[in-house]
Amino acid sequence: MTLALWPEYAVVLGVLATMLAGMVSRERTIWGYWTTLAALAASGVFTIILWASGSLPRSLLHGGLSIDAFSMAVNGLVLVAAAGALLIGWNDRRYGGDFPILVLLALLGMMVLGMANNFIALFIGIEMLSLPLYILAASGGEGLSTEAGLKYLLLGAFSSGTLLFGLALLYGAAGTMVITAVVSPHLILPLAGAGLALTLVGLIFKLGIVPFHMWIPDVYEGSPLPVTTYMAFGTKVGAAAILMRFLFFGFSLASGWWGPAIGYLAVLTMIAGNLIALAQKDMKRLLAYSGIANAGYLLVGIAAHNMLGAQALLFYLLPYGLSILAAFAVLAFVAGDEESVSLDQLTGLYQRSPGLAAGMAVAFLSLAGIPLTGGFVGKFYLLQAAWAAHEPGLAVGLVVAAMIGLAAYIRPLQRSFSAVDGTPAPIRWPLAGAIVLVISVIGTIGLGVYPAPVVHIVNHSAAFYWLH
Amino acid sequence: MFLVWLLAVPLAGAIAALIAPDKAAKGVAAITSILALIGFAGLLLINRSGINWNWIPQWGIRFHLAGDGLSLFLLGLCTVMFVVALLASDASLGRAYYFWMLILEFSVVGLFASVDLFVFYVFWEVLLVPVFFLLTGWSGQAGKKAAMKWLIMNLAGSFFMLVGVVALAIIHSQNGAGITFEISRLSGMAMGGAVGSWLFFAFLVAFMIKAPIWPLHGWMPETYRESLSPVTAVISGVLSKAGIYGMLRVLVPIFMPQLREYQMLLLIVAIIGLLYGAFMALRQRDMKMVTAYGSLSHMAMMALGVFSLTAVGLLGTNFYMVAHGLMVGGLFLVQGLLERRTGTRSLDKMAGLNHSAPRLAAYFLFFVMGVLGLPGLPGFAGEYMIIQGLIGPHPVFAFIAGFVIVVAAWYMLRVFLAVMQGPPQGQGIKDLLAGQVSWLVPLAGLVILIGLWPAGITNHAVPSLYHVMHFALAKGGIR
């Protein structure tokens, strides 16, 4: 057993332990949550040890998995996502006792996506990520949730098929399964072109890029709140990580094939996502479209195709994820026993709970990209990458989208800070969710005020020598 | 180190005001703002050393603040206006109001002091947030619309400026000179061609929206109409100066060739704005809107000073910013006092108030005279210098500017006549209270001091301006 996979082993052991806990006592589901949390903590500790050990990068399974600083950073991000989702849904009877197990299983898929360096590992990662999420999406019971699960399953299966077909064609064109072993100039052109296109479609479907974004609003709306949180943060991390590794490691020399396409898709996604978000009345749908737009921002880092872009993408995931966690934590508090929050329900939030309103303000201002929040630094990073790549169009597209996005994010804020008549009901703060909210708010502000340490880590994690 | 004080005190005070009970919030805020004013006195008189800390070393960003001649007196304007505006606010507004006001002071201080473009941008955008909440939370449904308009218009400008900020630094580093956001280092860079022009307009639009200058003043009427008078005083007296300050701080050193290239266009825009503001002010029936449009016209006057690209014009602008800020802020506050006493702002519903409130009328007249540019008060000195800078190279524009000063006298005196003179209508109003006199007297005294001794400011501003112009000279020069 090599030390390099211990973060993943910890998750696997966590799955087994959680299943056992569920068998030992059906009544006390809380045990499963504790074992899951312990597994997440252990995995995090192993990730840090590995990071600091200096034994990286390592390549396992004949180049199938490459464990490097980049995959460690992805590990860290998805662990935060899983912990956040778990705590927001802490011991909630509505979602059944298998909620933590499925969270862990999907986490495993995300971790594999972070280090996959092989078409098969890539596909396994995508499937391991998706299958638990299909179940999770449907775990809210009859009605919208079942519909969401079914929709996600059908469309997800379709995209997996596309992905698999594309990978098969690429294997035929390249003669190898290992991403880093693909030699772009030696590819058989029509085959490789079709393969690359189909694979990209499969991957950006998971990321939720326009025009493959249709499933996102419905699935986000129908899924239980913690699951939506998990999808909005974790899935995006996994999909963005593998997309970047796939394109930058395998097809770096052929960037003429995919660079312009990704660039146009990025601008289209950013602008369309934010525009549609403007019209939303339901907060989950609003955040769903915001997630689409943010996936577009991530694509900017890939389209820039330079080291700044890789770093900016990796950096951006953290403030984005923290803001999403904070926003969904607030929504979970406000929703209480319901499954979603409409824009009108936010009116007077400041009077009901000033703390929640403040937390939401930080989250939304960060998503909008106001300075002294992490979201601003992330966008600033992406802008640098776009400009350094001599792509002013990308930079302008990003700021235009940010402007539209601002209008979308400011409406809920204005609602929550306007007064209502009478004495509104106060809101209960569950402890676990409160921890998520406080940590993510502090993190969001901290990233905005002093981003240098994270920038340092990111510089180290995404320093690919063949880019400049 | 007094700059650290100036930044830290409002921030700490903001948090203290938020924690304090609603009744004590005003006291906390007032004390905080006075402490900040003391900090400014220390900066002015004792030690002017700046701050230069590493912030994000990977991108060459330093937390670099400096109180030089360009910024020193704007910092003074900011600290003075916040003391006055906070003292003039109602104690019943609650702690959130004082929290946002102090956050606003924090961000404005940071903006005026920063000499690193990234830091400048951060504060530039941060200050939109407190104003947004001040507009949202303390005014009616129309105030919410005004807040949206304020935020979206300003952010539209500043997002394009963000592209400019990033582009300047990246171009600087791609030229092989290292990545930096330091304005003084960026200004050493020669930049021409289409990229230079695009970046120039990205910055210019942001500055013109913030000032505001016609035709980008769309947010102004509603914001001024709906905001509480202390907030209006701060927006018009201090925040609007940020746009002009940005021109002096960023455009003149970095984009001198572009300024030269588009000078005629810019002068024409500023002249149209000057006339538009003045004639709109003549037509208003709401005394606050007269002042608002008058202020629009005066902002265009400052822009004229910048676009004259002469040393005297720039100096005049720098001086006029401080003078105008003090006077227009005072005027908005006095009008706020009037509005609270009469319950209206309409010129048709007020008359002859000087009979019942002679002291209030006196202060009203004083600030009206200051704004319209009475010799002996600082507005005159500023306008004089701006016109002197214009008259050599562009005598026609100088003539129009002189004409607008006459119009300014017309619209300002019209307000005074309508409100204060003539036969009194109905019951009189209460005169000034002691608490209100306590902040009006020092403010008026300061205005007189600057009016009688403009050199107190210009002598300090000259060295910094020459520093700015040193770079500009290398790129085509200032006459």
Q: Structural domain tally of chain B? A: 1
Cβ–Cβ of A399/B126 closer than 8 Å? no
Q: Please give the Cα distance from A329 to A250 (Å, whole number).
A: 38
Cβ–Cβ of A403/B156 closer than 8 Å? yes
Q: Is residue B440 part of a domain?
A: yes
Q: Is residue B205 part of a domain?
A: no
Mean pLDDT of B464-469: 72
Residue B383: domain span: 262-479
Q: Which two tokens stand for residue B234?
A: 């701060």
- Residue B464 pLDDT exceeds 80: no
Mean pLDDT of A150-160: 90
Q: Please give the Cα distance from B416 to B364 (Å, whole number).
A: 8
Helix (H, G, I), strand (E, B) or coil at A59: strand
The whole-angstrom distance between residue A367's C-alpha and the CA centroid of its chain comes to 14
Residues counted in chain B: 479
Question: Does B189 reach chain A within 8 Å, measured CB to CB?
Answer: no
DSSP state of A175: S
Candidate from A383, A419, A450 with C-beta closest to B163: A383
User: What is the least distance, in Å, from the CA of A415 to any CA of chain B?
Assistant: 10
User: Over the stretch A335-364, which tens digit does the pLDDT of each residue have?
Assistant: 877 777 888 888 878 888 888 888 999 999
Determine the pLDDT at residue B473.
59
Residues of chain A positioned with their CB less than 8 A from the CB of B136? 414, 417-418
DSSP state of B343: S
User: Over the stretch B256-310, which tens digit does the pLDDT of each residue have?
Assistant: 888 888 989 999 999 999 999 999 988 888 888 888 898 999 999 999 998 988 8
**Closest C-alpha to B46, from B84, B102, B5:** B5
pTM summary value: 0.91
User: What is the least distance, in Å, from the CA of B329 to any CA of chain A?
Assistant: 27
- Residue A393 pLDDT exceeds 80: yes
Question: Does B134 reach chain A within 8 Å, measured CB to CB?
Answer: no
**Closest C-alpha to A93, from A430, A434, A438, A436:** A430
Question: Does B175 reach chain A within 8 Å, measured CB to CB?
Answer: no
pLDDT tier, B89 (very low <50, low <70, confident <90, very high otherwise): confident
Residues of chain B positioned with their CB less than 8 A from the CB of A450? 55
Q: List the domain boundaries for chain A.
A: 1-253, 254-468
User: What is the least distance, in Å, from the CA of B454 to any CA of chain A?
Assistant: 37
User: What is the least distance, in Å, from the CA of B116 to any CA of chain A?
Assistant: 15
DSSP state of A390: T
- Residue A193 pLDDT exceeds 90: no
Q: Which two tokens stand for residue B292?
A: 């608002």
Question: Does B141 reach chain A within 8 Å, measured CB to CB?
Answer: no
Candidate from A395, A418, A451 with C-beta closest to B144: A418
A53, HSE (Cβ side, Cα atoms, 13 Å): 16
Residues of chain A positioned with their CB less than 8 A from the CB of B169? 384
Q: Is residue B32 part of a domain?
A: no
Most confident of the ranges A33-37, A187-191, B179-183: A33-37
Cβ–Cβ of A384/B59 closer than 8 Å? yes
Question: Does B121 reach chain A within 8 Å, measured CB to CB?
Answer: yes
Candidate from B122, B136, B170 with C-beta closest to A372: B122
Residue keyed to tokens 């601003």: A376
- Residue B66 pLDDT exceeds 60: yes
Candidate from B54, B151, B163 with C-beta closest to A399: B163
Residues of chain B positioned with their CB less than 8 A from the CB of A456? 58
Q: Is residue B126 part of a domain?
A: no
User: What is the least distance, in Å, from the CA of B157 to any CA of chain A?
Assistant: 9
User: Over the stretch A63-77, which tens digit does the pLDDT of each residue have?
Assistant: 888 888 889 999 999
- Residue B439 pLDDT exceeds 60: yes
- Residue B479 pLDDT exceeds 50: no
